[in-house]
Amino acid sequence: MLLVSSFTLVAQNPHGDDLAISCTDCHTTDSWTLSVTSEMTFDHGEQTDFPLEGQHAFVECVDCHADLTFKNASTECVDCHTDVHQQTVGNDCARCHTAEYWLVDNIPQIHEQNGFPLEGSHAMTSCVECHTTSNTMAWNRVGNECVDCHREDYFATSDPNHVTNGFSLDCIECHEPISQSWEGSNTHFFFPLVQGHDLPDCNECHTPNQPFTGLNPDCISCHLDDYNGASQPNHALSGFSQDCSQCHDLTPGWPANLLDHDANYFPIYSGTHQGAWNDCVECHTNPSNFSMFSCIDCHEHNDPNDLADDHDDVGGYQYVSTACLDCHPNGSE
């Protein structure tokens, strides 16, 4: 009987002559009909190059192998699935989809790969505001340049009027992509308008009815009078640099926040003299000239005799502040 049934199987084989898998891997003698729940020993993952992942594990064989010639099946998603995107994103469906579901959970990454990360206000904008095609599944190119979507905003500006000022159409020269709005402190990010520069009127720096271009960002170009007028200490006399940013930031009142006294001049916030003084003028006894300083106002009063004793054996000892600093540049022994 076995011989007869084998002969019958070969005679009826609908799968093509070159099927290399034994009929009994899939069929039993009960019926030619199969279902995924049948007890076939055939393993699609092991015996073919196309593992049945995700939802494909629950699909009937004939839904993919309609003609039953198994090797004719295509491995490309697009050969079995309709391109609902109408050729707007190409044929490589697997770039965005898996066989689990059609939902796409890497929308942010897709935009990064396109060089257009959804940051700032763009992260809160709905898809259709940018992808305006009526059929939302057609991802027609909208363009990455700000002006591709914001041309009308540009021509509608009045404060300042971008057209008459001749501003570039390359918005990111002045507007940060991550900002939440066109106005605000970010706009002037190349020269932040904060602290002392948080001024009510652009014309404090810019000239009315003139283009905004051409201003020099160097502090001294606007603050020469402040430099010349500074008396506590007198900057010109003290020979201070005109690069104010060595000692100042934009804090109102011109405190010397960036003056790194310990590293640049003499340790006063560390070492022996930490806590040993109350006021700058205890060393800088001439408050209008900080290039001058005194050590002996303190050290005389503290310990005049000991001081002399200490230097008994020290050749070249002088009771002069500049000499003290020469031998004790860090205020230590």
Touching ligand HEC, residues 172-201 (CB under 6 A) = 172-175, 177, 179, 181-184, 187-188, 190-191, 193, 196-197, 199
Site of tokens 């059929």: 135
Site membership for ligand HEC, residue 159 (CB under 6 A): yes
Site membership for ligand HEC, residue 41 (CB under 6 A): no
Q: How far is the CB of 284 from ligand HEC (least distance, A)?
A: 6
> Which of 150, 189, 236, 262 touches ligand HEC (CB under 6 A)?
150
Site membership for ligand HEC, residue 28 (CB under 6 A): no
Token pair for 27: 């069929």
**For the chain, how far is it from start to end, CA to CA, in angstroms?**
112
Give whichever of 266 and 286 is closer to ligand HEC, judged by the CB atom.
266
Site membership for ligand HEC, residue 27 (CB under 6 A): yes
Cis amide linkage into residue 233, ω under 30° from 0: yes
Q: How far is the CB of 2 from ligand HEC (least distance, A)?
A: 14
Compute the radius of gyration of the chain from its Cα atoms. Answer: 40
> Which of 43, 302, 304, 308 touches ligand HEC (CB under 6 A)?
302
> Which of 239, 274, 304, 308 touches ligand HEC (CB under 6 A)?
239
* CA 163, chain centre distance (Å): 30
d(CA 130, CA 149): 8
Count residues near ligand HEC (CB under 6 A).
191
> Which of 181, 100, 89 has its CA nearest to residue 131?
89
Q: How far is the CB of 224 from ligand HEC (least distance, A)?
A: 7
Site membership for ligand HEC, residue 207 (CB under 6 A): no
Q: How far is the CB of 43 from ligand HEC (least distance, A)?
A: 9
> Which of 74, 86, 164, 270 touches ligand HEC (CB under 6 A)?
74
Which of positions 100-129 make contact with ligand HEC (CB under 6 A)? 101-104, 107, 110-111, 114, 116, 118, 121-122, 125, 127, 129
Token pair for 315: 């050749």
d(CA 12, CA 166): 81
Q: How far is the CB of 180 from ligand HEC (least distance, A)?
A: 6
Give whichever of 3 and 10 is closer to ligand HEC, judged by the CB atom.
10
Site of tokens 């010109």: 236
What are the residues whose beta carbons fall under 8 Å from the beta carbon of 70, sequence distance 6 or more? Answer: 15, 16, 19, 48
Which of positions 208-237 make contact with ligand HEC (CB under 6 A)? 212-213, 215, 217, 219-223, 226-227, 230-233, 235
d(CA 304, CA 301): 6
> Which of 138, 149, 189, 287 touches ligand HEC (CB under 6 A)?
149
Site membership for ligand HEC, residue 86 (CB under 6 A): no
> Which of 145, 83, 93 has its CA nearest to residue 114?
145
Q: How far is the CB of 4 from ligand HEC (least distance, A)?
A: 13
Burial 98-114 (b: 16+ CB within 10 A, else e): bbeeeeeeeeeeebeee
d(CA 258, CA 240): 13
Q: How far is the CB of 3 from ligand HEC (least distance, A)?
A: 14
d(CA 298, CA 312): 20
Per-residue contact string for residues 259-298; x = within reach of ligand HEC by CB under 6 A: x-x---xx-x---xx--xx--x-xxx-----xx-x-xxxx
Contact 249, 195 (CB under 8 A): yes
